[in-house]
Amino acid sequence: MRSAILLSFPFLICLVHAQQPPAPPTATPTPPIATIVVTGTYEPVSLDEIDRAVTLLPVRGSNLVINSLVDVLRLDPSLDVQARAPDGVQDDLSIRGSTFEQTLVLLNGFRLDDVQSGHHDMDIPVPVDSVSQMEVLRGSGSTMYGSDAIGGVINVIAEPPDFTELRLRAAIGNFGINEQQGSLSGVFGTLDEQLTFSRDFSTGFIPDRDYRSLQLASTTHYISSWGASDLTLAYMDHPFGADQFYGPYPSWEDTKTWFAGFRQALGTKTTASFAYRRHSDLFVLFRDQPAIYTNHHKDENYQASVRRSETLFRHAELHYGLEALHESIVSNNLGDHSRSRAAAYAALDFRMLKRFSLSLAVREEIYRNFSATFCPTIAAGYRLTPHVKLRASVSRAFRIASYTDLYYSDPADLGNPNLRPESAWTYEGGVDWSPNSRWHAGLTLFERRERDGIDYYRVSPDDPWQALNIDNLNFTGVESSLRLTVSASQTIDFRYSWLNGTEDTVPIGQTKYTFNYPTDSGTAAYQATLLDRVMLRARVGVLERREQEPYALVDIDAAYTRGSVHPFLRFSNLTNTSYQEIQGVAMPGRTLMGGVELVVRKH
């Protein structure tokens, strides 16, 4: 009953304001919801043409009513954000019950997944103000992106806006929260540039849970006679108290990320890209006694690709390309290692009569002493009526173990150098219904069959966790969504996901990550700009993990957007719910933040 009442809250707000005449667009430059996506396809296409389960999550224009990118990801219950602390301090992201290492995170199409540990995949170095939207591919993505995309793919799109402005924002809150953010963007003919920074500080809601984060980024878009050029530069420093993060220890950790990515169009058919990512992780098991146990890991990766598209005839296109990736690590615990991978892919896309579409894609990836992995994908769509579309896909994915899985050793966890790569087949089918521009509904059924899944197990709570391969894992699920556009300035979303996982060969003891998935998860979200001046965002999420009690979280955010001075308020966990997203790691209770933003804009 409590969950039902909480879920109805945004809907009641909507009813109160639905009778008002549609408000004109807000003075804040909030772009309409985009219909073009690039994730899960070999070229940008409209959202209604995609034959896979893809969600588009707009970010730009909502900066006043979101605190971090995690707030946006929580709008989709298929994305299980397993946070250890607020503000993206350290988050494990699971899609459709996958482990966090089976989720691939991209920044402008470049890999952010960490060769050391999947715990750092969500170390996204760009501030929120740099991000225009996030795109989510639910289901296997290895045919396009290679290793790690077993559960799905998150692509963070960071690009400069097409207007000139200065934004400065500051906020304070309980638990010693102190935040400052800024953005300077400019348009200079064919050159768009944005510089952003973000600083977050908190003394922590309990001892040894303090954090301070710094993010700096530059995004550049330039049009020349060759084509579009895009350059992204970013840096992040992330020290935090890690009490309970990896066991009952008063730990401390500091992660840093350096990122540079460049993409160049070579005419209209070819694109070349290159990226460099460096990540360091300093971990102290006992914060006040670092001499007892301290690890320092530093890893790097270089990635490059060349992609090309050809029109074969009116209704068919061929996409093909080459990719290369080199990863290395220097660590006092894991040792010094490096590995390289190379891949080639090809895909045929057929689109006929605006009713039928078919994609056939294959990828061959070579790694580790010329071992090879073959990943095919078949996806098809059929528009039954102008308002109803059917879609289905079959795809294969794989993941190579991280260096933590292979070599890590501490009092609580032990790696296994004999781990085999994971693999999985995903089968899914769905239907999309859009009777008019106000309503949109979707339903997806899927099954993922994993082989040699990697997890940690122990026989008793007194034993350390030991990495191992699980022979067979099967996940079956249902995803549903309903979106109502009440007016040009009001939207309401309902989403629900159900998931069930089984394993054929159960090791004696307890696994650490595999069965921490939510069996039932639902969200209701309402966002509006009322009276052309007040931006309101409300979200209610109800989640029940396997063999655990359900809990509900309520977040409400409001901001005044008229003029150049924008005060705002944010309420997180309004009901002061006690909950854990990672077993044994407590999360903060009710959090209140308030602040003001100053905007200077050139019209």
**Helix-strand-coil percent breakdown of the chain, rounded to 5?**
10, 60, 35
Query: What sign for the dihedral angle of Cα 43, 46, 52, 57?
Result: positive
| Full-model pTM | 0.91
> Domain boundaries in the chain?
2-602
**Which one-letter DSSP state was computed for residue 51?**
-
Cα gap 338→112, rounded to integer Å? 17
Which tokens is 303 given? 């990635």
* 62, 537 contact by CB (below 8 A): yes
First to last CA, the chain: 50
pLDDT, averaged across the chain:
89
pLDDT (tens digit per residue) in 96-123: 999 999 999 999 999 999 999 988 989 9
pLDDT (tens digit per residue) in 561-573: 999 999 999 999 9
**Which one-letter DSSP state was computed for residue 505?**
S
Token pair 């790691």 in the structure block, residue: 585
Q: Looking at residues 296-323, what average pLDDT do you find?
A: 94
* pLDDT at site 462: 84
Number of C-beta neighbours around residue 488 at 10 A: 12
Give the CA radius of gyration of the chain.
23
Cα gap 129→375, rounded to integer Å? 36
Which tokens is 506 given? 């159960």
* 448, 416 contact by CB (below 8 A): no
Which CATH superfamily does the domain covering 2-602 fall into? Answer: TonB-dependent receptor, beta-barrel domain (2.40.170.20)
Lowest mean pLDDT of 82-86, 208-212, 495-499, 555-559, name the range. 82-86
Helix (H) or strand (E) holding 5: helix 2-18
The angle subtended at Cα 15 by Cα 9 and Cα 21, nearest 5°, is 140
* 150, 422 contact by CB (below 8 A): yes
Pick from 358, 360, 349: which is nearest to 382 by CA?
358
Cα gap 235→279, rounded to integer Å? 10
Cα gap 245→378, rounded to integer Å? 40
Lowest mean pLDDT of 131-140, 490-499, 594-603, name the range. 594-603
Cα gap 248→572, rounded to integer Å? 26
* pLDDT at site 33: 40
pLDDT band of residue 35 (cuts 50, 70, 90) is low
Max CA-CA distance within the chain?
Answer: 69
Percent above pLDDT 70 for the chain: 93
